[in-house]
Amino acid sequence: MLISHISDLHLGYAQFNLQEREEDLYEVFGEAIEKSINEHVKAIILAGDIFHNPKPTGAAIIRLARELKKLKEKSIPVFFVLGEHDISRSSDVPLPYLFHNLGLAKRLKPDSPVQIDNLLIYGFNKERRSNIDNGLIRPFRKIESILENDTQKQTAQNHWLKKILVLHQGLYDFNKFAGEIFSNDLPIGFDYYAMGHYHDHIEKRFTTLNEGLVAYPGSIDLGHNEAISDVEKGFLLVDLSEASANVNTHWIKLEKRRHQFEYQIEYPDLDDKLRYIVQESAQYAKKPIIDLKIRGADIDPKILSRQLLQLETSFLYYNWNILGEDSTTGGFSYDNTREFDMDKEMSSLILKSLHSEPLTHLSLDLINMFHNDGDSNDNKNIDKDKNNQIANYLWKFFENNKSNYQTLDNSKIDGKDDSN
């Protein structure tokens, strides 16, 4: 038995405010649905951030409805949870519930799982950091004990159910800054944790979850906060055959996406390289998007921007930056390896400017505390103990290093005097 697990559609989002990019998303979503139908999936899970905006445009609503109608005609049920992009800050009814009410899709709930064939599906809407304990952790423990009881009953009846939990949350295990819960917080007893929120494809089995598979399919296309790059995007076909103990997945690449890539040019080679990339661009059905890094000294941006104008007919959009000759020593190096470690990158940058390990740790703690998806209302919920710890630490640090600051101040003043 196969199901599709799709997340972070962000329907209605238009990268670079281009209508073509909004259209691209609808088309790519259509591809995911078409491929799911061709694979004869028994159900489709949408793991949140269905729309990019809590008040989506008519176009986004109609395009989603069109795909859901196709699925209805094929009798393929669709189950969904909400992501933060679907939820309005006002207490309005979330728009995706419209599709639940029309019978085109079903919203998942924590307390009443849905059953189809031998599959039991639980789901939670996105919980903000401020409500993780009440909204997730406590209900998780409750579900855990319910499942444990059920399993005992089922073994007696020799009846086996596969269980799926659908969530739209970030796990600290994969990203320290975007994380909201740990894998250890998840309730034990599920075969598959159908996740949304992270826009990269991630899968991991956790022994602590009895080899349950935690999987993010990633967003269906490059979205907001994602740099132009030639990453692949897709969705997951999840195999829940009764025969095998473990759940297996196949990640399906979405091929109708518009090609996006980065390209570096040495300024003296500009003409040759531009001719080359214009030629290359012709192989794609849709005009690609390019991010150019031009390296060289004494480049006049005005002249360069005129030289780049020839890209306009072959590319939907191009972005360019001039890298100075010394830029290899610059702080950032976003190479294409998937192993990019945000924590390490941040701490090395902070260390470089503060020259102090303890202060670097303190800064990371502070960043972690105040980082909550831009929701400043959550700040009041910061752990009081942590606040006190940090205040104490700051005070102690100041007491111990008072003299340093005083010398620093004096030397600054001295330096000023000298130079003048």
Question: Quick one: 35 or 199, whose CB is closer to Mn ion?
Answer: 199
What end-to-end distance do the CA atoms of the chain give, in Å? 79
- 278 by Cβ neighbours in 10 Å (0-12 / 13-18 / 19+) ranks as middle
Min dist. Cβ of residue 356 to Mn ion (A): 36
SS3 105: coil
Closest residue to Mn ion using C-beta atoms: 49
| Residues lying near Mn ion in the complex (CB under 5 A) | 8, 49
Whole-angstrom distance, CA of residue 204 vs CA of residue 193: 10
Min dist. Cβ of residue 196 to Mn ion (A): 7
Whole-angstrom distance, CA of residue 132 vs CA of residue 114: 23
Contact 105, 68 (CB under 8 A): yes
Inter-residue long-range contacts of 300-306, CB under 8 Å, 24+ positions, other chains counted: 304/270
Question: Quick one: 110 or 217, whose CB is closer to Mn ion?
Answer: 217
Contact 288, 261 (CB under 8 A): yes
Question: Quick one: 12 or 288, whose CB is closer to Mn ion?
Answer: 12
DSSP β-ladder status, 106-107 and 114-116? unpaired
Contact 215, 5 (CB under 8 A): yes
Question: Quick one: 24 or 49, whose CB is closer to Mn ion?
Answer: 49
Min dist. Cβ of residue 10 to Mn ion (A): 6
The sheet carrying 2-6 orders its strands as: 106-107, 78-81, 43-47, 2-6, 234-239, 248-253
Question: Quick one: 8 or 180, whose CB is closer to Mn ion?
Answer: 8
Question: Quick one: 22 or 49, whose CB is closer to Mn ion?
Answer: 49
SS3 390: helix
Question: Quick one: 198 or 315, whose CB is closer to Mn ion?
Answer: 198
Min dist. Cβ of residue 223 to Mn ion (A): 7
